[in-house]
Structure 1
Amino acid sequence: MPEGRIIKALSGFYYVQATEGVFQCKSRGVFRKKNITPLVGDYVSFDHREENEGYITEVKVRTNELIRPPIANITQAIIVSSATMPDFSTTLLDRFLVLIEAKGITPIIFITKTDLLTDEQIVDLKEYQADYEGIGYKVEMFSAKDPKEMVRIKDYLKDQVTVIAGQSGVGKSSLINALSPESLLKTADISKSLGRGKHTTRHVELIEINNGLVADTPGFSALDFSEIEADELSSCFPEMRERLENCKFRGCLHAKEPKCAVKDAVEQGEIPMYRYEHYISFLEEIQSRKPRY
């Protein structure tokens, strides 16, 4: 039985990329009974009896999955923040980082629109860049209008399955367009051949760029921490995660507990104060949500 990867989900159909081409498939009713919904990015087995049409018979085990946007088996997430318009926000960046870390996906930080900054603003932004690189994140600052920069940035996509996240207006679409305008044109042609305009519905689709796959998605529709428990939050901060064993109390939440290695690191300047303040704010948000039954 042939196997492939779902590269698009639209109107109840799943488009499976296999060695022999792309197959338009439906899912079997058995998946509904098992409460399994095939996702873009899933590796599947399928049965095809007509040319380029078939039924998905098996969904392979996933390495990870996101609910919003619905996509599976991602190898990295690029978080796009703008330097200005809208202004750079460490709070929003940290929300995205926590959500990505919670899924065990590697985050990369892109800061765009640097061409709109003054020299003084660039210096301030580079301080934040140094903070996040010190934590262990890769951080790139650039303008999507610079073709030379785009050649370098495109290397991040090679051999990866990438989801691009970021608030509205930071330039996610402009970035994808600058990285590979031909991919978007090809995507539009596929949609046209299927008799559906690309913008008639919001759907998830994997497009090929530089021998990798990039999720062209509506983005994250929610930035809440509904899937994260209070005792899991500090593990989503790498600089805290590496110090957990040094706290005196097991299950330390690094808030009011004495002899806390995380708070000590903050006082010593080893962890940026704003990162700790965001952690406390997120912790309070999680603790104040209504209980789930």
Structure 2
Amino acid sequence: MLEGRIVKALSGFYYVKPHQVGEPLIQCRARGIFRKRETSPLVGDFVMVELSENGEGTVHEILPRTSELIRPPIANVNLAVLVFSLVEPKLNLQLLDKFLVHIEKVGLESIICFSKYDLFQDSKEKSIFLDKLIQYYETIGYPVLLTSKTTREGHEELLGYMANKTSVFSGQSGVGKSSLLNAIIPGLELETKQISSKLGRGKHTTRHVELIELSNGGIVADTPGFSSLDFTNIDQEDLGFYFKEFKQYIPDCKFRGCLHQQEPKCKIIEATNAGKISSKRYEHYLGFLDEISQMKRRY
């Protein structure tokens, strides 16, 4: 048996990098028993591999995971880098908050990266909006970076966050994830495409998940972009706990299991009315709550 880590999954094959330095990747299939257990190996998994005579292998055992994401499918990551463009496609804060909810549920550290800063049309109104936006997210506990592949702004700071961690890049398609990775990792040439003029969003240029080593000891996953997430695995009663700024107020709500909609003496509503919680974030919370409710009715 050989121990290693799955660094790529493609067309039913898993490519395992052994822990021994200098050993080549091993192309593997997974044991059929995983299907019976209704599980499957993920990129990022630490696994035990049984070698065959032809140099290929079989994933024999999946070692315990410290974290697991379903979309994108990856295991044992420490940091989520959420990349959202300021322009092309237009900044979608509702989708950003939806990503943050899912990252909070998994329990990962996360940072927000606003890309294409060089294309942002500077004006007083937009500068004020961006400053307030950054201040709010940083106040509730999310570091925010402004990046540009043209000016290289924010690249060194981003690499600093990623040192000695396994990071996953996620975000709306077309926001520049692959371009940003190409810019911060010398020699990397991931495919990139232009924004669709008809749809106003990008095409998916990454079709599988793959781990890429960094020179600072970090590992980063290039993952497919996607434009929507659902709340299949989140209950209405739990949603509030995945909004960081809600947590301090929830214990003081009058009713246990308060959904923070229109209940009397709800501390989330009071904090929102007092300007302590962003009205836009609270609006997104209510929208997500309704989405969960509609989903439960369908099931």
Q: Same fold (TM over 0.5)?
A: yes
1:169 deviation in Å?
A: 2.0
Letter in 2 for 1:203: H
Residue 21 of structure 1: SS of its match in structure 2? Answer: coil
Q: Percent identity?
A: 50
Q: In structure 1, how many angstroms separate the alpha carbons of the residues matched to 2:55 and 2:213? A: 20
CA contact 2:172–2:227 (8 Å) conserved in 1: no
Q: Determine the structure 1 residue equivalent to 2:15.
A: 15
Among 101, 104, 107, the alignment partner of 1:104 is 107
Q: Determine the structure 2 residue equivalent to 1:256.
A: 262
Q: In structure 2, how many angstroms separate the alpha carbons of the residues matched to 1:232 and 1:56? A: 36
Q: In structure 2, how many angstroms separate the alpha carbons of the residues matched to 1:83 and 1:89? A: 9
1:51 deviation in Å?
A: 6.0
CA contact 1:231–1:253 (8 Å) conserved in 2: yes
Q: In structure 2, how many angstroms separate the alpha carbons of the residues matched to 1:149 and 1:108? A: 12
Q: In structure 2, how many angstroms separate the alpha carbons of the residues matched to 1:49 and 1:77? A: 36
Among 248, 259, 266, the alignment partner of 2:272 is 266
1:119 deviation in Å?
A: 4.0
Q: Determine the structure 2 residue equivalent to 1:243.
A: 249
Higher mean C-alpha deviation, range 218-227 or range 248-257: 218-227
Q: Does 1:118 align with 2:127?
A: no
Q: In structure 2, how many angstroms separate the alpha carbons of the residues matched to 1:125 and 1:169? A: 20
Spell out, residue by residue over 1:183-220, the C-alpha distance to the aligned partner (whole angstroms, 9 max, x if none): 447xxxxxxxxxxxxx9982211111232111112134
Q: In structure 1, how many angstroms separate the alpha carbons of the residues matched to 2:45 and 2:212? A: 15
1:176 deviation in Å?
A: 0.7
Q: What TM-score do you get using the length of structure 1 for normalisation?
A: 0.89
Spell out, residue by residue over 1:202-252, the C-alpha distance to the aligned partner (whole angstroms, 9 max, x if none): 221111123211111213463121221111110110111222111111111
Q: What TM-score do you get using the length of structure 2 for normalisation?
A: 0.87
Q: Does 1:37 align with 2:43?
A: no
Among 287, 291, 294, the alignment partner of 1:288 is 294
Q: Determine the structure 1 residue equivalent to 2:161.
A: 156
CA contact 1:69–1:221 (8 Å) conserved in 2: no
Residue 47 of structure 1: SS of its match in structure 2? Answer: strand
1:143 deviation in Å?
A: 1.4
Q: Determine the structure 2 residue equivalent to 1:188.
A: none
Q: In structure 2, how many angstroms separate the alpha carbons of the residues matched to 1:200 and 1:278? A: 29
Query: Alpha carbons of 1:91 and 1:63: their partners in 2 closer, same or farther (altered >3 Å)?
Result: same
Q: In structure 1, how many angstroms separate the alpha carbons of the residues matched to 2:188 and 2:271? A: 46
Structure 2 residue runs of 5 or longer lacking an equivalent are 191-203
Letter in 1 for 2:291: E
**Residues 81-96 of structure 1: pairs in structure 2 closer than 5 A:** 81-96=84-99
Residue 162 of structure 1: SS of its match in structure 2? Answer: strand
Among 137, 157, 166, the alignment partner of 2:171 is 166
Residue 222 of structure 1: SS of its match in structure 2? Answer: coil
Letter in 1 for 2:76: N
Q: In structure 1, how many angstroms separate the alpha carbons of the residues matched to 2:12 and 2:171? A: 27
Structure 1 residue runs of 5 or longer lacking an equivalent are 186-198
Spell out, residue by residue over 1:72-98, the C-alpha distance to the aligned partner (whole angstroms, 9 max, x if none): 111111111111222223212111111
Q: Does 1:64 align with 2:70?
A: no
**Residues 191-202 of structure 1: pairs in structure 2 closer than 5 A:** 202=207
1:257 deviation in Å?
A: 0.9
How many pairs does the alignment contain? 280
Q: In structure 1, how many angstroms separate the alpha carbons of the residues matched to 2:10 and 2:54? A: 19
CA contact 2:140–2:245 (8 Å) conserved in 1: yes
Q: In structure 1, how many angstroms separate the alpha carbons of the residues matched to 2:147 and 2:209? A: 26
